[in-house]
Structure 1
Amino acid sequence: MDVKDLLRLLKLYGIRPRKKLSQVFLVNRRVLQSIARLAKRVAEPISRRVYEIGCGPATLTVFLLREGLDVVGIEIDNRFVPLLKMVSREFPLFNPVISDARDAIRTSRAEVVVGNLPYHISSELLLSIARSGAKAAVVTLQREVAERVVARPGTDSFGRLSVIMQLLFRARIELYIPPKYFVPRPEVSSATLVLERIRDFDEHAACVEKVTRCLFSYRNKLASKALRNCFPSTYRILSGEERWRSLRVRDLDPLLFLEIARICAENGEC
């Protein structure tokens, strides 16, 4: 599907992209095919069924279906219903569902998640995927957010999202996608991110969310001072160790945040 094909479809169904839903549609055939093939490689060891977030006009959906994947298409905008029903008639393996993706991820048993994440809630959706039972994801989102996910300790991009996602997944950026490949053209570049589960979301992972929320409000402070302000009981246990007195919050490895979370949990601070 190219720009002309998409514009023709949107005009046929009377659909104008809604900015409040961050509706931008990837239309470059080469990139769509690359993402679909990547999704197939990632999904095949786990499940042939993938849950596509924000399927919209089904530009990616059709390529996923042509790869032989069973697609559950999650779309919040019911204006796309007639178009999606048309696709489902052509492809029996396609099941469109009108729902908020955040609710769908939480309540479904999705093992593999794919799709172009709405930019205004991309971080929120990543955390929803992290908290779910999903074993893998292939998602396209703003380049800046993707780079935060894979950022290393001590870098400007490293933060709360980096810690949580890296504790739970092997994360890598597979593709960079320029704005010209989308309609309407976004103001930022995009990237396709691959996530492969390495740890389930458990009570310690939930505690990491709380720990990072507080500690990263002191990202440039020494870890010992941040711990003292956020978690006094845990600070008293860890304060004798040199590493906490020399490292700043921004320099802590994700596994160190997990260590803090475990001690917080043992001492009733989570």
Structure 2
Amino acid sequence: MTESELPPLREVINSFELRAKKSFGQNFLLDLNLTRRIARIPGDLSKAVVYEVGPGPGGLTRALLMEGAGRVQACEMDKRCIPALAEVSKAFDGRLSVYEGDALKIDEHELLQAKPDEGIHIVSNLPYNVGTMLLIRWLTLKTWTPWWQSLTLMFQKEVAERIVAAPGTKEYGRLSILAQWRSTAKIAMRVPAAAFTPPPKVNSAIIHLKPTQPLDDSIQLKSLELVVEKAFQQRRKMLRSSLKGLSVDPKELLKMAEIEETERAENVSVADFVKLAKCYEQLKTH
């Protein structure tokens, strides 16, 4: 079977009985024009390994290969989809490899095995039930610059808005800070619920992230995560109260970071949270 002989995705779903399952967080994209637009967001992928989580029947997978991705490594835990993806691999001369398993449990470095001249880009219509967990995993790597060069990911609209949110907005929180501390994040495309089969109850959006130098690479990730967690546990409280859960005097910490005691977490910039984490580390060692 060649690329031109691949059947339409609706036929694939019917012939392999691939009705979307809630237990897998599945919502399939069948519009090839739409998936090809998504595949173009990261730019030239001809010398790249593209990692896709949850390809399902292969709608986005086909688009990535048609748009010239060097090779695609997919991870799929739904056994029903494997034969359909095997046909895609055959049609595109083996440029698609499929690993059957749980994306949360694999060693991605071992799976992807990129050559020195290949960049790694993650492009995925993430299953709703694991999307945020995977994003946090990719954002909280111990070493930075990361092994990936860009993330192009589908999320529910409200999650996407939290990732790109600015201080002073109700969406701003832990996810915003983890994403923006050492990467740039933008909404690259909005996708209505009607574009999916079956349509979810909410709209979606594509987030595009590229790694940058951290605002301060001397701080420990766990310190930033702890300070942010405590600050947002009770986001409407003043920081002098919400930071009491730390092992240092919150008033001394805020004075050292030059942040008002009466400030609230949702109004503190990413740069100031980084400063808070650095001051926390300094106070903790005294």
TM-score, scaled to structure 1: 0.88
Residue 132 of structure 2 corresponds to 123
Q: Please list the CA deviations of residues 181-207 of structure 1 after superposition, one character each: whole Å capped at 9, or x if unmatched.
A: 110111110101100001468862232
Match in the other structure for 2:234: 218
Matched with 1:193 is: 207
Secondary structure of 2:72 counterpart:
strand
Q: In the alignment, what sits opposite 1:144? A: 158
Q: Which residue of 2 aligns with 1:183?
A: 197
Once superposed, what is the RMSD of the aligned Cα atoms? 2.5
Segment drifting more, 228-237 vs 63-72: 228-237
The 5-angstrom pairing of residues 134-173 of structure 1 reads 134-173=148-187
| Residue 32 (structure 2) pairs with residue 16 (structure 1) | no
Matches within 5 A, 1:80-99: 80-91=81-92, 92-99=94-101
**1:236-247 to 2 correspondences below 5 Å:** 236-239=252-255, 243-247=259-263
Uncovered stretches (5+) of structure 2, i.e. residues with no partner: 115-119
TM-score, L = length of structure 2 = 0.84
The alpha-carbon deviation at position 227 of structure 1 amounts to 2.3
Render the CA deviation track for 1:62-114: whole Å, top value 9, x for unaligned. Answer: 11011221110111112111111111112221111112222346555673211
Aligned-partner residue type, residue 160 of structure 1: R
Listed one character per residue, the Cα deviations across residues 130-176 of structure 1 (whole Å, up to 9, x for unaligned) are 12432310111111100000111111111110111111210000111
Identical residues among aligned pairs (%): 29
2:38 equivalent among 29, 35, 39 = 35
Residues 140 and 191, structure 1, Cα contact 8 Å, conserved in 2: yes
Q: How far is 1:218 from its partner?
A: 2.1
Aligned residues: 264
Give the whole-Å Cα distance in 2 for the aligned partners of 1:23 and 1:62: 17
Unaligned runs of 5+ in 1: none
> Retained in 2: the 8 A contact 1:105–1:128?
no
**Number of the residue aligned with 2:270:** 254
Quick check: 1:73 aligned with 2:74? yes
